[in-house]
Structure 1
Amino acid sequence: MLRYDMGEGELRNWVIGEDSFNVRYLAKYEAIMSLGNGYMGVRACTEESYPQETRNCFVAGTFNRSGASEVTELPNIADVTELGIWLDGEGFHLEKGNIEEYSRTLNLQTAELNRRVIWRNDRGNRFEMVFRRFVSLHNKHLLGMRAELTPCTAAAEISIRSGINGQVTNSGAQHFAEGDKRIYDKKMIQYAAATTESNIHVVTHCHHRCLVDDAEVAAEPRLSIERRKVSLEYTFQVEAGQTLVFEKIANIHTSLDLEHRQQEAAKLCEVSLDELRLEATKGYGELLQDSAKAWREKWAALDIKIKGMQEFDQLAIRFAQYHLVIMAPAHDNRFGIAAKGLTGEGYKGHSFWDTEIFIQPYFLFTDPGMARNLVEYRYHTLDGARRKAKENGYRGAMYPWESALTGDEVTPEWGPVDVVTGTPTRIWTGLIEQHITSDVAYGVWQYYLATGDQLFMDTKGYEIIMETATFWASRLTWNDARKCFEIKDVIGPDEYKEHVDNNAYTNYMAHWNLQTAIACYEKLQHAPSGMWIQLRNRLQLDKAYEEWQQKAENIYLPRPRETDLVIPQDDTYLGKKLIDLTKYRNQQEVALILEDYNMDQVNDIQVSKQADVMVLLYLLEHYFSYEVKQANWRYYEPKTLHDSSLSMATHSILASDLGEPELAYRLFGLAAGIDLGRNMKSSDQGIHTASIGGIWKCVVFGFGGVRAPGGQLRIQPRLPEAWDSLSFPLYWQGDLLKIDITHDAVQVAKLTDLNASLRLSIDGQNYSLESKESITVSLNTGKR
């Protein structure tokens, strides 16, 4: 059973765990208890193997295509986590014998996974076993494991087989050529292999050390080299009450790593082997301390504190922040964040609009350096976006719906079986879910507003905004009857509506993209630089500017209806048939509607997979009045099934905006429960990174009321009744702030002094923070 109360004392609300073993739920725990550091991610598989497991290790950016008919995906790296354990000749396995005690915990504070088992075999012999594991935040290449095995009732022969297993696949797809295998000093193993298509070399090492009652013991292991697999097997006689400790330290390096560029494969093996020899001398304990120290420093900078009736809320926000850290490639700006992070094979490691709309905001306000990595990733993939535009008959840059390393489109063409026809479903998102292009531009602009990073804009940001605007200018088509430009045949955020015309979200965001490009052009015209002149000439921006103006002035923007202020989601949504959605609104699993209707049928029903117009009202909040937001909430919310994990958080934020904090709080709980909740099948393919980012947005943007319309920081808190106070750190334009909120007051402290004066709005009143100043504002009065 999933537990939230296993942390005691200083670890209260820092630990998630389970208190019983159930093989049916392995995937849930593998995903939510994953370890990582942004460079690598390792699913929390048990040391002993089960047929139901999904044993994954991923390294960011190492994309490969396993065959001509496949799309590129993150390959499953050779596994180091499995241990074969024999106790008196009997293989240890929790589906045999008797489990007397069981617990497994993930300590979010130190990022250590810990499992304790007291197990009695069929002959009545009792063993206590403790398994510990971490992925280092101090050294991105490093993973540590430790097994402590104690015979309790009688002496026992204990055998442990450990190695590197390159037989792992991505659901059957093999991404590596046969590897080179080496054993050094009967302690160290090396496994080196290259991806089959992208030719990325990956070298994995592991080092073993054995101790009995804390004294290192010599051992003569049995050596084994098989196809794609190499291992050592150790056997010990252990007295009752003695503890055999088995430590395994591993590292992973790739030819894609910045520090290994231009290195030959042999040199890569040599350098990484030398590193592990040095690191392994420290032992598990010291290496864990190094990593835990890095985590403590991380938490000191970003911990959010919630005081209230439900302690789960404090744990939930820490769980979200933990996963945001381990999914983010802080080491390299060439890589994006996958829809499942590095915790599972779902969506093949590809990046979506999740990054800009749901994940990047967290880093904008807590780690601007990582936020810069994310916008620079989109710059590195700009040429791929240009290629996609050209291939589809457009100009400028058309960003892919699913992005990997190059920015070329990598969305699969076919999906699940159609419940009516029995044939595979065509996936249209890669061709016509095009709002991603303006989402990328929006992310760039939000980064600029939050950081004031002019160098990035001069060298990269303006180019993205202007090339995406040029795409939209070429994408628009003229409707002579309406006397306006339209965007026809798209999918909006509501993916239950395919091949629609004038999706409101898409049109408004395209209009925003054009207007922002126009504003940037006009700003740069008044302060020309050599860099701007080069960009203007290279992209023919004088001509593009005229086109942007013409198209922006005449683009069709669906307006609120006079009768009820509802904005048409697209040209036909409001005319589609209505059905009773109660069954699907109360569902325990997502997408149950697709078991009763196929996509063509769902396309003809007024039902939304996820927030669509709602996202528009949130992102472009200054475009719409409070009354329009309320009217659209009342119309679309009952028709939204939240069949995407992206949806709950957006609705929670809007509920806060509309003065319904208790509904917002309930939706926050539902969003937090997508991965951390008790649905034991929700995370089998990996955690939901957009929802994880959305949890933080619910807290800071929703309940904390933080926004930055037009580039000025605004704080308009709406705490739920369940919370007494909320405290969080916030970066704004280079300065670090600390925000403390109660139901009665807001305190803002400026902890750094990068800007002499910081202007902000609190509860509708404007203030200025000078130097390292603190300000307290009584809510609803605006008094200092």
Structure 2
Amino acid sequence: MKNYIKHDPWCVVEEGFYPEYNEITESLTSLGNGRMGQRGNFEEHFSGKTLLGNYVAGVFYPDKTRVGWWKNGYPRYFAKVLNACNWIGIDVKIDGETLDLGLCTVSEYSRVLNMKEGILERRFVATLSGGKQVRVHAQRFCSIADDEAGAIRYSVTALNFEGKITLTPFLDGDISNKDSNYGEKFWDEIRKETAFGEAYLEMRTKDTPFKTELFNVCTGMKFDISLNGEIVDFQCKPVKAEKYVACGTELPVKTGDEVVLYKYAVNLASLNHPTDQLLTHAKAYLQRISEKGFDQMKAEQIQAWAERWDKNDIVIEGDSDSRTDAAQQGIRFNIFQLEQTYTGEDDRLNIGPKGFTGEKYGGSTYWDTEAYCLPFYLATADQKVARNLLIYRHKHLQKAIENAANLGFKDGAALYPMVTMTGEECHNEWEITFEEIHRNGAIAYAIYDYIRHTGDEGYLAEYGLEVLIGIARFWAQRVNWSGDKQKYVMLGVTGPNEYENNVNNNFYTNYLAAWCLRYTLEGLNRHKAAVGALLQNIHFDFEVETAKWQHIVDNMYYPYDAERQVYLQQDGFLDKELLTVDDIAEHRPINQKWSWDRILRSCFIKQADVLQGLYFFEEDFDLDTIRRNFDFYEPMTVHESSLSPCVHVILAAKLGYKEKAYEMYLRTSRLDLDDYNNDTEDGLHITSMAGTWMSVIKGFAGMRIRNGALSFSPYLPDQWKGYSFRITFKGQVIRISVTPHHIEVENFSNQSVSFAVDGALIELDANGRKVLEIAQQK
């Protein structure tokens, strides 16, 4: 764990210059607006540790897959999020000497991400080698109001000299990905253009043998300069090089003078604009935002974020100490990153595991979206946002059918990809690509989750059943009948616990498959008439296929240990030496200290596996069953997946394990802030951040949906004095506030609402409010 980030309820604060942690802080201070984003890199040149990162949503490159040998059905390519043109760059020279914090003496340094406003701010004093001293104050943001644009205010003050300050704002497209094979670069230059105070650079992704879509991105910039608060005329020297454009200007200054450069930039992609009009559109877009000016853009940014926080904030009350600030900062940091990664405006986009904060994991869509992110957007955003996440998968159904066909499945069976940009599988690890098929079930579960939360039953007939049938056909072909067990079994899979590969009868996968078949059967029985044309088009033999599915549901095999009365993660799990994480404290994290062979032979669990199933389907199991399984598996879980702690919070809270629940909450909420797994420098764990929200709402507040209505069973962690949040459910908005002695509920809707608190039915009039007294904390 790193402890250099200051605890603050609304900001991520780096006080003092920590060049050894710079890549971590770059991740933590990343910005985005759903269309574009970038890491918290310096505007000026920096010769120290840095991972440059600028990203445009939906733009990717199909890189060559590197494997030892090819296997039938293997993905054609490995899709990766592309590091795009660096739009934030400003070269700074003081009397010809480059400002470089790697070579200067740095003092009074701070870097602050204001999450309330979505603004990154940096201040420092730099003493150059010749003794000249400058004060720099930089602010920037990716605009939520103008979501293809960003703006920078970069101030340089001469502290002890009279001379010349040279500012050269630039656009640099000659960049590469850190993870590129063989050091390849992925962009070709199409055109570049400079004029007074502005420049444009249009790039296109390189062509490949894979014949995927090529993307053009036009990046443009305009800038103004002020001296001591007044906009000034300046001379501008255009600079052009390969994949690079810049405009340099030189200003004479004396001690105390402040020079400010206002830089406006846009990233326009051919996804959203006609390719042959990108440059024209970029010029018009830049003209519009530069006429607004930095201050107006900033005001609109602050207002846009205020509207978001009004819907999604979780407020934690406690002692005015570091512990409470740490908890409050953690939840807001996670919510902030989710909001700036995905806005739900475009059903072609999804939520990448690193968002706009890094390149790792390549593709933009994993099962994380359905299992972890969807509940957050269901409860905090307009219904269309969650619906667009589901439509994204419906649009990829034919690709999922092709993916399954590549592996030998037939008759419309669909296997959704583990990693994708377009619906085509593009993962590069065989044991995940071929075996981690539980991702199919997460997509089915998301449809169920969406309908029960929104009441949008029409979605099932319009889109959902077509997806469910494809997935159900896959499960029906993926299982086989075991004459020995007289049950259906599923062989050669990898469950959520990726520290086990190629196992038989993973409990979670088997249970999820049977549930999916059952849920699809229920949906077909409810909507058979409405989907008659669909069933005919996909050649669905209703009697034969549904009978087969029901037989599988009734006869699925689940590995179970009768002595311990727990479900086994998979066949043979008890053959392992059963240790706890306390037995290997000095070896953690094992994914960085052990060989893969040793990990696979150990009992240690990367993330919730059996417990993931008990979390999804807790209504199917009594409390004692959940307790026995939690007590058995949690001590063996190393939580080396970001997706793990939140599931344990929710189950621990349900079981009354308050200390364990809070321990896991801090781990999930501060996973990146404290760099628990020594990997924050690669980028943040965006998709798991929704798990932090679930830890509070489903964990501490005990929110569930029972019989079509909301239900809460809240308790207050001992470390807090209170917490509150808002939930949108079936178009109605309620607020829950929990304190040591009462629970306050408010209805912000213009119609009455009913829900349960600790089993008691609560009726709230339109815009009503009630205070419920509680005798004691659970």
Change in Cα spacing, 1:113 to 1:409, as seen in structure 2 (3 Å) is: same
Q: 1:286 aligns with which of 296, 299, 322?
A: 296
Residues 540-578 of structure 1 deviation map (CA, whole Å, 9 limit, x = unaligned): 34143222212212221334x332211111111122223
Q: 1:643 aligns with which of 640, 645, 665?
A: 640
Matched residue, 1:75? 82
2:205 is equivalent to residue 176 of structure 1: no
Paired residues of 2:7 and 2:329 also in contact (CA < 8 A): no
Aligned AA for 1:429? Answer: I
Instruction: State how far apart, in whole Å, the 2-side matches of 1:220 and 1:588 are.
Output: 58
2:723 is equivalent to residue 726 of structure 1: yes
2:76 is equivalent to residue 105 of structure 1: no
- 1:190-269 pair list within 5 angstroms: 190-197=200-207, 198-257=213-272, 260=273, 263=274, 265-269=275-279
Matched residue, 1:667? 664
CA offset at residue 679 of structure 1?
5.2
- 1:45-60 pair list within 5 angstroms: 45-48=41-44, 49-60=46-57
Matched residue, 1:416? none
- 1:341-380 pair list within 5 angstroms: 341-367=355-381, 368-380=383-395
Paired residues of 1:654 and 1:702 also in contact (CA < 8 A): yes
- 1:105-504 pair list within 5 angstroms: 105-171=112-178, 172-184=183-195, 186-197=196-207, 198-257=213-272, 260=273, 263=274, 265-309=275-319, 310-367=324-381, 368-395=383-410, 396-413=412-429, 427-504=430-507
CA offset at residue 89 of structure 1?
1.4
Select the structure with the greater relative contact order (CA < 8 A; seq sep ≥ 6): 2
Paired residues of 1:2 and 1:18 also in contact (CA < 8 A): no
Matched residue, 1:10? none
CA offset at residue 587 of structure 1?
5.7
Instruction: State how far apart, in whole Å, the 2-side matches of 1:4 and 1:744 are.
Output: 34
Secondary structure of the equivalent of 1:708?
A: strand
CA offset at residue 160 of structure 1?
1.4
Change in Cα spacing, 1:590 to 1:732, as seen in structure 2 (3 Å) is: farther
Secondary structure of the equivalent of 1:608?
A: coil
CA offset at residue 585 of structure 1?
4.4
Change in Cα spacing, 1:97 to 1:253, as seen in structure 2 (3 Å) is: closer
Secondary structure of the equivalent of 2:374?
A: helix
CA offset at residue 584 of structure 1?
4.2
Matched residue, 2:555? 554
Q: 1:64 aligns with which of 49, 61, 76?
A: 61
Aligned AA for 1:382? Answer: L
Secondary structure of the equivalent of 1:347?
A: coil
CA offset at residue 362 of structure 1?
0.7
CA offset at residue 109 of structure 1?
0.8
Matched residue, 1:16? 12
Instruction: State how far apart, in whole Å, the 1-side matches of 2:697 and 2:329 are.
Output: 15
Matched residue, 1:761? 756
Paired residues of 1:66 and 1:174 also in contact (CA < 8 A): no
Secondary structure of the equivalent of 2:361?
A: helix
Matched residue, 1:597? 595
CA offset at residue 446 of structure 1?
0.1
Where in structure 2 are there 5+ consecutive unaligned residues?
67-76, 208-212
Secondary structure of the equivalent of 1:675?
A: coil
Residues 641-692 of structure 1 deviation map (CA, whole Å, 9 limit, x = unaligned): 1111111111111110110112211111112221111559431111012331
Paired residues of 1:305 and 1:314 also in contact (CA < 8 A): yes
Aligned AA for 1:290? Answer: E
Change in Cα spacing, 1:329 to 1:60, as seen in structure 2 (3 Å) is: farther
Q: 1:702 aligns with which of 695, 699, 703?
A: 699
Change in Cα spacing, 1:286 to 1:584, as seen in structure 2 (3 Å) is: farther
Q: TM-score, normalised by structure 2?
A: 0.93
Residues 620-652 of structure 1 deviation map (CA, whole Å, 9 limit, x = unaligned): 101111111111111111111111111111111
Alignment coverage as a number of residue pairs: 748
Secondary structure of the equivalent of 1:299?
A: helix
Matched residue, 1:573? 573
Instruction: State how far apart, in whole Å, the 2-side matches of 1:217 and 1:680 are.
Output: 49
2:627 is equivalent to residue 617 of structure 1: no
Instruction: State how far apart, in whole Å, the 2-side matches of 1:332 and 1:483 are.
Output: 48
Change in Cα spacing, 1:703 to 1:494, as seen in structure 2 (3 Å) is: same
Change in Cα spacing, 1:3 to 1:112, as seen in structure 2 (3 Å) is: farther
Aligned AA for 2:214? Answer: N
CA offset at residue 51 of structure 1?
4.9
Paired residues of 1:37 and 1:328 also in contact (CA < 8 A): yes
Instruction: State how far apart, in whole Å, the 2-side matches of 1:207 and 1:692 are.
Output: 35
Matched residue, 1:536? 535
Matched residue, 2:684? 687
Matched residue, 1:28? 24
Aligned AA for 1:177? Answer: D
CA offset at residue 454 of structure 1?
3.0
Change in Cα spacing, 1:245 to 1:40, as seen in structure 2 (3 Å) is: same
Aligned AA for 1:353? Answer: W
Aligned AA for 1:565? Answer: Q
Secondary structure of the equivalent of 2:671?
A: helix
CA offset at residue 581 of structure 1?
4.1
CA offset at residue 73 of structure 1?
1.3
The runs of at least 4 aligned residues of structure 1 exceeding 4 Å deviation read 1-7, 67-70, 583-590, 678-681
CA offset at residue 588 of structure 1?
6.0
Quote the RMSD (CA, aligned, Å): 2.0
Change in Cα spacing, 1:759 to 1:356, as seen in structure 2 (3 Å) is: same
Secondary structure of the equivalent of 2:567?
A: coil
Aligned AA for 1:547? Answer: K
Change in Cα spacing, 1:275 to 1:581, as seen in structure 2 (3 Å) is: closer
Deviation larger for 627-636 or 91-100: 91-100
Residues 587-626 of structure 1 deviation map (CA, whole Å, 9 limit, x = unaligned): 664624xx33323x33232221111111111111011111
Residues 126-149 of structure 1 deviation map (CA, whole Å, 9 limit, x = unaligned): 211111110000010110011111
Matched residue, 2:94? 87
Q: Share of identical aligned residues, percent?
A: 28
Aligned AA for 1:279? Answer: I
2:39 is equivalent to residue 43 of structure 1: yes
Aligned AA for 1:642? Answer: H
Secondary structure of the equivalent of 2:711?
A: strand
Instruction: State how far apart, in whole Å, the 1-side matches of 2:374 and 2:536 are.
Output: 31
Paired residues of 1:4 and 1:312 also in contact (CA < 8 A): no
Aligned AA for 2:483? Answer: D
CA offset at residue 66 of structure 1?
3.8
Instruction: State how far apart, in whole Å, the 2-side matches of 1:33 and 1:590 are.
Output: 28
Instruction: State how far apart, in whole Å, the 2-side matches of 1:285 and 1:584 are.
Output: 54
Instruction: State how far apart, in whole Å, the 1-side matches of 2:349 and 2:10 are.
Output: 29
Change in Cα spacing, 1:448 to 1:206, as seen in structure 2 (3 Å) is: same
Instruction: State how far apart, in whole Å, the 2-side matches of 1:26 and 1:583 are.
Output: 34
Paired residues of 2:17 and 2:107 also in contact (CA < 8 A): no
Paired residues of 1:14 and 1:108 also in contact (CA < 8 A): yes
Residues 510-567 of structure 1 deviation map (CA, whole Å, 9 limit, x = unaligned): 1110110011011113xx23xx1111212334143222212212221334x3322111
Change in Cα spacing, 1:590 to 1:19, as seen in structure 2 (3 Å) is: farther
CA offset at residue 5 of structure 1?
5.1
Aligned AA for 2:232? Answer: V
Paired residues of 1:340 and 1:349 also in contact (CA < 8 A): no
CA offset at residue 775 of structure 1?
3.6
Q: TM-score, normalised by structure 1?
A: 0.92
Paired residues of 2:314 and 2:332 also in contact (CA < 8 A): yes
Matched residue, 1:422? none
Paired residues of 1:39 and 1:331 also in contact (CA < 8 A): no
